[in-house]
Amino acid sequence: MKLAVGAHTGTGTWLMQRATAIVLSLALPGLTIHFMLAWPVDFAGWQALFAPLWMRVLLLLTVLALALHAWVGVRDILMDYVHFTGLRLALYLAVIITLAGSVAWLAAVLWSQA
């Protein structure tokens, strides 16, 4: 049976943080430059920027990586500063709902006009 606790479980979390960090350090500046080069646009031009499927997939995957990265980071901060277990678990839940909700909401926004 796989152990759910112990010193080794941190390694996977650590690796996840680094892997998503590398993805984000490439994707976010790249996307920023892409949008800045296209600017200024009107509404039709703005919609057209999100029309290609690759752009929508890229954005969704980037924000998914961002959500995983933010989860590990915010979880670490809460573990450091919030020592009352009940409150910490409630905050974990709020963070998960915020991040998972953001990813799902982004998918809905990006695919609602297709």
Under the rule (CB under 8 A), what is the footprint of another protein? 18, 21-22, 25, 28-29, 43, 46-47, 50, 63, 66-67, 70, 73-74, 77, 95, 98-99, 101-102, 105-106, 109, 113
Taking the least distance from each CB to another protein, the nearer of 77 and 89 is 77
Quote the CA–CA distance of 32 and 46 in Å, as a whole number: 14
| Residue pair 28/69 in contact by the 8 Å Cβ criterion | no
| Residue pair 21/69 in contact by the 8 Å Cβ criterion | yes
Quote the CA–CA distance of 56 and 49 in Å, as a whole number: 9
What is the H or E stretch that residue 42 is in? Answer: none
Taking the least distance from each CB to another protein, the nearer of 7 and 36 is 36
CB 22 → another protein: shortest distance, Å?
A: 7
CB 29 → another protein: shortest distance, Å?
A: 7
- Our CA dihedral for 82, 94, 23, 3, rounded to 10 degrees, sits at 70
Taking the least distance from each CB to another protein, the nearer of 28 and 89 is 28
Taking the least distance from each CB to another protein, the nearer of 52 and 101 is 101
CB 77 → another protein: shortest distance, Å?
A: 6
